[in-house]
């Protein structure tokens, strides 16, 4: 299946058959991809030591690719999985042979190891992309979500503060807004922690919040493609479920731009257009694969899973949206948080990690009052 130009353009000679191209995930967006202006980014990255955590993941690896183009002095690829780090390292060495690359195998929950990395390399800019993100899996494993998304973020952020990093950018999610899941709640707590740390730190801490990423590992597009290849059915949770979608390059451009725009404490948002129905996405992908939805490839509705919402939000009620220098990027007003009180809540959360799910979820809901109280235990 190929995407071809308009027939009238072919006839008039405006375009040739060379314009025919393969189907891309951008074709499913329902809007033009956002292009971020790179002015001002160079001074934030060029000749700097830049650390990317979760560097082997979908977002982390694309971050590394785009950062490499700004000629950092050194690019630190930190990840827990050796295979994914090896893959992105080899790609970068091939495409950027002059770049100083340092692959680092480390667990962000290991405080002494993270301190060692910061002490040796002294990163100027940190992009924190390492996280557990799969909503249903984290509902079943809340302690692991807390260890990685909350305490892992705390470990890396504390090290950035201690060793004098200039900037720290947290990759967050729209699921952190009035969260209905463990994953979303842990992401909101991570946002709260770096906002509170920003108040007393010389490091500029910021969060970047965006929607679902088309084509990322564990997202619906790879799943739908696999189901279509098997002849169906394509599974959709609910006919009215909608999500904001971005491409991986869009998401990463936003993260890099946010790092350059940040004065500290902000939560950055991207104008992602109108939300897209998951059902429409599935039907479009079936058609782009050369089949007729509901005829050649059936679609089954499986029901909303634990922790999922019909729609996602981008702002908390107390956050006031404000414009930035970029017309498609906005900021939410940072909350007023007491760092000492938050540390006490973290200590309480740490004490229940070894207990049953209900105890962990109970503390999470106490820490985030806007969290949905009807979480299934």
- In tens, the pLDDT along 155-210 reads 999 999 999 999 999 999 888 888 889 999 999 999 999 999 999 999 999 999 87
* Structure tokens given for 16: 């040739």
- In tens, the pLDDT along 5-38 reads 665 655 565 544 444 445 555 555 555 666 656 6
Q: How confident is the model at residue 68 (pLDDT cuts 50, 70, 90)?
A: very high
pLDDT (0 to 100) of residue 18 = 44
User: Cβ distance 86 to 103 under 8 Å?
Assistant: yes
* Residue matched to tokens 């973290």: 346
Over the chain, what is the mean pLDDT? 83
* Structure tokens given for 28: 């499913």
Q: Nearest CA to 173 among 245, 259, 278?
A: 245
Alpha carbon distance 78, 56 (integer Å)? 8
Q: How confident is the model at residue 122 (pLDDT cuts 50, 70, 90)?
A: very high
Q: How confident is the model at residue 376 (pLDDT cuts 50, 70, 90)?
A: very low
Alpha carbon distance 45, 73 (integer Å)? 8
Which position among 175, 204, 309, 361 bears the catalytic label? Answer: 175
User: Cβ distance 104 to 76 under 8 Å?
Assistant: yes
Q: Is the model's pLDDT at 49 over the cut of 60? A: yes
Q: Nearest CA to 234 among 312, 291, 308?
A: 291
Residue 144 falls in which region: left (phi positive, over 0), alpha (psi -120 to 50) or beta: alpha
Domains of the chain: 45-213+245-272+316-367 (3.40.50.720)
- In tens, the pLDDT along 260-306 reads 888 898 888 876 666 778 888 888 888 888 888 888 889 988 887 66
Q: How confident is the model at residue 334 (pLDDT cuts 50, 70, 90)?
A: low
pLDDT (0 to 100) of residue 374 = 42
* Structure tokens given for 209: 């919040």
Q: How confident is the model at residue 214 (pLDDT cuts 50, 70, 90)?
A: low
User: Cβ distance 168 to 157 under 8 Å?
Assistant: yes
Does the annotation count 175 as an active-site position? yes
pLDDT (0 to 100) of residue 237 = 83
- In tens, the pLDDT along 337-355 reads 788 888 899 999 999 998 8
Alpha carbon distance 271, 210 (integer Å)? 9
pLDDT (0 to 100) of residue 17 = 42
């Amino acid at each position: 299946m190929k995407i071809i130009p308009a027939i009238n353009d072919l006839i008039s000679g405006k375009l040739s058959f060379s314009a025919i191209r393969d189907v891309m995930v951008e074709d499913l967006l329902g809007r033009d991809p956002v292009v971020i202006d790179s002015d001002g980014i160079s001074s934030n990255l060029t000749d700097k030591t830049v650390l990317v955590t979760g560097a082997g993941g979908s977002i982390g690896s694309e971050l590394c690719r785009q950062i490499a183009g700004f000629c950092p002095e050194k690019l630190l690829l930190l990840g827990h999985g050796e295979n994914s780090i090896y893959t992105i390292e080899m790609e970068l060495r091939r495409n950027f042979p002059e770049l100083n690359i340092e692959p680092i195998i480390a667990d962000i929950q290991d405080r002494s190891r993270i301190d060692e990395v910061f002490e040796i390399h002294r990163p100027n800019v940190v992009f924190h992309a390492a996280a557990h993100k799969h909503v249903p899996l984290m509902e079943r494993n809340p302690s692991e979500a807390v260890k990685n998304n909350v305490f892992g973020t705390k470990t890396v952020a504390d090290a950035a503060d201690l060793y004098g990093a200039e900037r720290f950018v947290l990759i967050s999610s729209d699921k952190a807004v009035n969260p209905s899941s463990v994953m979303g709640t842990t992401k909101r707590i991570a946002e709260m922690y770096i906002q509170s740390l920003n108040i007393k730190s010389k490091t500029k801490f910021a969060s970047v919040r965006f929607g679902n990423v088309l084509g990322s590992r564990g997202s619906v597009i790879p799943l739908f493609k696999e189901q279509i290849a098997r002849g169906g059915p394509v599974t959709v949770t609910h006919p009215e479920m909608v999500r904001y979608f971005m491409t991986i390059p869009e998401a990463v451009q936003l993260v890099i731009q946010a790092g350059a725009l940040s004065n500290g404490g902000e939560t950055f948002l991207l104008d992602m257009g109108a939300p897209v129905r998951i059902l429409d996405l599935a039907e479009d992908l079936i058609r782009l694969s050369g089949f007729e939805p509901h005829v050649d490839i059936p679609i089954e509705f499986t029901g909303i899973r634990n922790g999922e919402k019909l729609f996602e939000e981008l702002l908390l009620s107390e956050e006031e949206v404000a414009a930035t220098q970029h017309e498609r990027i906005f900021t939410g007003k940072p909350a007023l948080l007491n760092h000492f009180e938050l540390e006490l809540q973290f200590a309480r959360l740490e004490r229940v990690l070894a207990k049953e799910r209900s105890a962990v979820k109970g503390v999470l809901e106490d820490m985030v009052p806007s969290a949905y109280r009807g979480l299934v235990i």
